[in-house]
Amino acid sequence: MAFLSLGVAGYAAFVYGVLPPGSLVHSDMKVTYNTHATGIYTHVFGALFALLLGPWQFSMRLRASRPLLHRWMGRLYLGIGVLLGGIAGLYMAFHAFGGIVARTGFGLLAVLWLSTGLLAYLAIRAGDVASHRRWMVRNFALTFAAVTLRLWLPGSVASGIAFEVAYPVIAWACWVPNLVVAELAFNRDRVAA
Ligand code: HEM
């Protein structure tokens, strides 16, 4: 997971840090990214923090040996990655390629990303570690949509499905299964306990 997250973070940093906006996407998306450059750059570079920091937050060893580091990385993850990246992601969702289906998919993803982040924060402020952990797992499952989206895309191209058809479906497929897997993992842990 950490490997894939860092891979997508590297892709985003290179493509949006070095190339002109929307260099590797559909020509309609390129027009949108040029029109809403602040929105897409805030989204990409904000959300990058979540992908870069998120995977290490689940390391029990790091939490036990460097609790202050976990706290600061968590603040950056939530404050820059999720809050900044999520608000800009919600803004970009209104302009996403793929019509109402894609826009609703990305929009709901953004709302859930922001709200699970808020619930995780409130839980830890209230001292409820178990609830904080569950909300963070859900939140990172949503962060991981940035990875699964980029696994679905080449998969759909390889199977010959037109991008215009695949993209609205992928706007949902990139995050709904991630949340289901997170919930199944909670249930398995509960049964095993
Ligand atoms: C989990 C919540 C997220 C939401 C709601 C979201 C939403 C969006 C939206 C709406 C777009 C524009 C799509 C279009 O124009 O059709 C976009 C593009 C993009 N997002 Fe996100 N995103 C999320 C997470 C992330 C994360 C964690 C990253 C990591 C860096 C990321 C990186 C990108 C990149 C690089 C693009 C430009 C498209 C590309 O070059 O592949 N997103 N996102």
Residues of the chain falling short of pLDDT 70 = 190-193
pLDDT of res. 48 = 97
pLDDT tens digit string along 159-177?
A: 999 999 999 999 999 999 9
SS3 57: helix
| C-alpha of residue 170 to centroid of ligand 1, in Å | 12
pTM as predicted = 0.95
pLDDT of res. 186 = 84
Which residues does ligand 1 sit against, CB inside 6 Å?
8-9, 12, 15, 24-25, 29, 32, 43-44, 47-48, 50-51, 89, 92-93, 96-97, 106, 109-110, 113, 142-143, 145-146
Could you give the number of structural domains in the chain? 1
Joined tokens for residue 95: 């302009």
pLDDT of res. 147 = 98
Which domain range does residue 47 map to? 2-192
pLDDT of res. 187 = 78
Query: Of ligand 1's atoms, which has the minimum distance to the CA of residue 149?
Result: 41
pLDDT of res. 64 = 95
Expressed in angstroms, the distance from the first to the final Cα of the chain is 25
Average pLDDT over the chain reads: 96
SS3 97: coil
